[in-house]
Amino acid sequence: MELDGFIYILVGSTFGLIVRMFIKYISGKKKIFYSNNILIVNVLASLFLGIFEGLNITNKNLILFIFVGFLGCFSTFSSFIYQLFNLIREKKYLILLIYYAEVILLSFLFFCLGYFITLTFIN
């Protein structure tokens, strides 16, 4: 990869981190089931991923900026896994199953929503 590719990833990831921290700041500590800002961020990242996939982006630098940089830093898969691990450690198995299903299903549904909205309104 050329130096400009790394720069696109760096700038994209910087924006992804800023947006994620902003969502963390505004979401506070309100929870639905075990949900928190990690759920919000992962669902939004899935929506954005669906939208960008629907746009069929082919520009290499834009792919590096959006998919690798912005969405890679914006989404919080490792935090999601850490929360699941803590629920196992705390023996909160029902909450673990609900939270896992909630994140996976909502993320998938919002990816599909973003994809089909893009296909409907853009293409």
Q: Is there a binding annotation on residue 79?
A: no
Write a three-state SS string for the chain.
CCHHHHHHHHHHHHHHHHHHHHHHHHHCCCCCCCCCHHHHHHHHHHHHHHHHHHCCCCCHHHHHHHHHHHHHHHCCHHHHHHHHHHHHHCCCHHHHHHHHHHHHHHHHHHHHHHHHHHHHHCC
Global pTM reads: 0.83
Q: Show the CA angle centred on residue 115, arms to residues 110 and 121, nearest 5°.
A: 120
| Number of domains within the chain | 1
Domain residue limits at 102? 3-121
Query: Cα separations (Å) of 10 from 2, 27, 56, 64, 65?
Result: 13, 26, 22, 9, 8
Contact of 66 with 57, CB cutoff 8 Å: yes
Which pLDDT score, from 0 to 100, does residue 33 have? Answer: 45
> Is the predicted pLDDT of residue 111 greater than 80, yes or no?
yes
How far apart are the two ends of the chain, measured CA to CA in Å? Answer: 31
Provide the pLDDT for residue 29: 58
d(CA 38, CA 23): 9
pLDDT at 1 over 70: yes
User: pLDDT at position 117, please?
Assistant: 95
Split at pLDDT 50, 70, 90, the class of 94 is: very high
Give me the pLDDT at residue 51, please.
94
Tell me, what's the pLDDT at 21? 87
pLDDT of residue 38: 82
The verdict on whether residue 16 carries a ligand-binding annotation is no
- Residues 26-57 have pLDDT tens digits of 877 555 445 577 888 899 999 999 999 999 99
- 104 confidence band (pLDDT: 50, 70, 90): very high
Average pLDDT of the residues of the chain = 89
